[in-house]
Every structure is written in structure tokens, then in C-alpha cells.
Structure 1
Amino acid sequence: MDRNSKTVWLQRDVVQHNSHDYFAVLGLPVTADAYQIRQRYLSLAKTLHPDVPVEVPRNKDKACEYLAKLVNPAYDNLMQARERAEYNALIKIIARRLLKRLVVLVPKSEAAKRLFRSPSDAHYVQAVEAIASLQYKSLDKVSEYTEQLSELNVVYALYQEGFHPALCDSSEASSQDSSKQQVCLSLGHINQLATHRAKEFSNPLLPRSQAYIRSAEAYIIAKQWTMALGDLRTALQIDRTNSKCHALLGVVYLNQRLLGMARLSFQQALKLNPREPLVQEHISQYAKMLSHVPNRYQKGSGFFGWLGSS
């Protein structure tokens, strides 16, 4: 597997990051119940505990770290019915939003590609079990196998939401007619967005509106404009006085080529904060796009004019 394709929380050493794909961490399908979670945890605890003798020599400190920082937190969370339900709901939301758009999905691992071509409950569970049997046998490959499991979870979520496979590789995706606005998107990247969102909303010290704004920023970076738009609108329902939120909304509209909506959002941001940095940052982009609009549509919409009068 190409190591460059790893999601943020799986870069190089997985125990350094806080993964929220707890099913992948334990090597379980998302359909696992409390009994299956308990049995898998006991098996992993026996495998990784430093006091348990093993046939093959290993780094006991690293095994202990995996157990303490990865496996134990995953188990503690998944034994809570609410946490299991929230995880599944989150992945379903991502899947549903993707299915509303023309998206070319590109799985990375061979297991995900096979499931993608022939999705079924049985194939999913079999694929998870096959990878899980190898997951913690070599501590140097835990990250790789956990990422593969996480990718399988997203493919399965898409299947559950009615997705029909249309597998293509990167070269095929890049040759698609750009007028169809199709997007080549790694499933690992989808999970990165889901993981980021879960982390923001699990922070008890972060105001709810800020959690939506941070989630929207991640979507903007990934150029997922529709998803960002939904989070920003929700944030504004909570707090309409946040200039950054209005400015981000303008950025989304700008990239959707809705210049009138972008202008209104930027104006509102400047009313709340005349020095809003995001508006200043996107002045040139707006002006450039406006210059290509026919003159009859530019009346009263000069960017620099209303910026200077704010």
C-alpha cells in the first residue's frame, strides 16, 4: 500500500494520534455487537500485554503502548451503545452526502477494491476478518492494516446507503468530462474528514458553533463545498454574529461561482468585523472572477467599492 495515502491520524505511528474509527482499531465490522467487541478486546489484550509470553520476539514497550493508547480507548468507547450509534450515524451522513453528488470513488487497498466491485454483508465481514487476523501480528504494520479496515468501513457504509459500484482508477477519473463536475476522492480521505468532524464534536470545551465552523473548514480544504455549506448554515443558526463564519460562507459561494451570494456574505462579515482577514484574503479572487462577468451583471457589485465603504 502507498504510505502517502494514509489518513492524517495514521501517519507513520498510529499510537501518536487519536483515532475515532474505533471499529477499525479493534479489527471489527461496524455491525459488531457488545459481545463481539468484548471478545475481540480480550483477544487483543492477551496478544499485546507485555507480561504474556509470545513465540516471536517483539518490542514489549511498543505493544504496551498500542494496548494503552489505541486498543483500550477504542474498547471503552465502543462498549457504549451511544458511541457506536454516533459513529455509524456519522459515516452514514458522509455516505449520503456523497451519493447526492457525481463522485468517482477510488479505493486504495485491494480489499476495499474487491468489496467495492462486489459489495455485500458477507463479503464485508469476511474482508474485515481476514485483515484483522493480521492486524496486530506485526506491530510495524498495525497502521497499514488499520487504515485498510477503516477504508472497508466507508465502502460498506456506501453500500448500505444504496451505492452501486463504478470503480475507476486515478487515470480514468482524471479523464472524465470536467463539465460533469466529477471528483476523484480517496475513501481514506472521506474517513479523514469524518474523523476530523468526530474529534471536533467530541471536545466539550469547544462551543457548538465553533465545532461546525472547524468541520466546515476541513470540508473547504477538501473542496467539499456542499458539505461545508451545510455546516456553516448550521453554525449561523447558533451564532449569527460570527464574522469568520460569514466570511467562510462567502468563500464557499465564491468557489461555487455564486458571486452575488458571496458578496452578501463578505459584506455581512465586514459589518461584524471590518478587518475580517478571510475577506481580505479573497479580495483578488472575487475581483478576478467578477472581471469575467458581463457588465450588465456587475452593476452595484464592485468589490472594492463596498469594501472601502464598510
Structure 2
Amino acid sequence: MSAATQAFLDMLAAERGAAVNTLAAYRRDLEGAEDAVGDLSSVSRAKVATLAHEWSALAPSTVARKASALRQFFGFAVDEGWRRDDPSGALPNPRTRRPLPKVLSHEEVEKLLERAELEAEGGKPTAVRQLALVEMLYGSGLRATELVSLPLSAVPRDAPLITVMGKGGQARMVPVSDRAREALQKWLNLRPQEPASRFLFPSRAGKHLSRVRLYQLLKELAVRAGLDPTGISPHVLRHAFATHLLEGGADLRVLQTLLGHADIATTQIYTHVDAARLVSLVNARHPLATRRASD
């Protein structure tokens, strides 16, 4: 990686507070572009244009992400005086359609929660932890990283809210349901004290439970609950939280705050999910749905 691209990544971390995963994604995209066309701080516009062919086999959403990373870098390079021109215009600009998120039905969430509750009845620490994790994912709409990295000090005492550090180091307040608080208290009573860890969900190494392990735990729980594990993940439960709140009449701006979305356009995807659900409901349940169009 060139010194210029490394400086750009350093700026993202220092000035924008970019998360570790975000920085890793930018690094991969920039390194891939440099492998294809050379040093981005001096590459010609014509060479940048060849990236369209280089990325031709990729999905439009992937091309859009890579192009966005390069546009930001080129803008930074111009501001720093490393380039006199901005070759961003030569980058491909695919039209992408944001996919609707996978959403669990109320019945599927109930099955998952009922199974987690049943397994936690025995008082086994891992089962009680599992219940607390599921309750927090669905009850508070947390991202996987936000949940596993919660510090022990974040557990609410009397207040029904918890402070979460989201993307870019942005703090926000999210609600904690009575069910989730009860599950958390049970977990705290069983949480291992050794090795010492500042995290609510510690690992054996004294750090916190990994995102990968959280994914595994949910999929294993889904199998035992009789659900398709391919349709279950921390993010799917976050989507269920948002969609079910919207169905219940939640305001879109409130939902944006709860989810920690910087742009309300990201939150608006859930209005499309709800609309799609309503269309499906009309097609399935309306009296005319059973009649042929030619009748």
C-alpha cells in the first residue's frame, strides 16, 4: 500500500472515527485498486477508467462500494495537494437497488425466544447468556459488534435505557425491555469472574465474545427451534426489531435514532419492507385474491 493511501486510512481513523471493520473494508478496496492500476496518488485518469473492466464480473453493489472508496480517496488527495486533478469521473457508476432486508415473522421470533427461554430454565450459564443475547438483539435492535462489546458498566440499574457506542464511535441511547433486563440480571448472577474482563459477555481469554461466535450460537439455536438457520443472524434480528416496531406505529425518526442510522434514507428501507408485507397480505387474504383476473 502506498504512503498516500495509508495516510487516507489514518485520516479516516483519526478525524472520522471510522470503526475497525470499516477501515479494513477501505483497506481491501484501496489495495485491490492499487494492485490493478498502481499508486492512486499519481495514476492517470485513463488508467482509472480501466477499473470498469477490472470490476466487470462483480455485483453492482460491490462496484459501487469500491468506487465510493476511491472517490473519497481522490478527494482527499486533491485536498492534500498530491493530485491536481480528480479522476473520479472515470470510475464506473452502477445503478444499485438496495435489497430488502430479511425479516423474521412474529411467529418465528416467538419460536426462537421460546426455545432460548426453555434452555435457560436449567440455569446453565451458556444458556442464560444465550437468552440475554437474543433478548438484546431483538429487544434493542443492537448490531452484533455493539452487543458483544458492551462493557459491564453499561448494564442498566434502574433506567430503562442503555448507552451504546455505535459506528464511528457515536453514542446513542437504546431501550432495554423488562424481559431483556430480567435475562441480563440472570446472566450477571452467573457471569464468570475469572479471567477478569470489563465486558458484559466475556470470552475465556478475558476479551469479549466474538461476532463469529454470536453468529454460530444463533444458528445453532435456530436449528433447535425448528427454524431455517440460513435465515437467522444478529442482523436479521435487528431487522425484525425495526420492522415490527414500524408495524406497531413507531415514528421513522424515532426508529432512525434507535438504530443509530446517520442517514434517514437507510431507515426508510423498512417502509418498503412493511409495504411489501401489506401487498403480500392483500394478495393472500383479500376475497378477490382467489378469483382469476379473467373472471
- TM-score of the two chains, using structure 1 as the length reference: 0.27
Richer in helix (by share) = 1
- TM-score of the two chains, using structure 2 as the length reference: 0.28
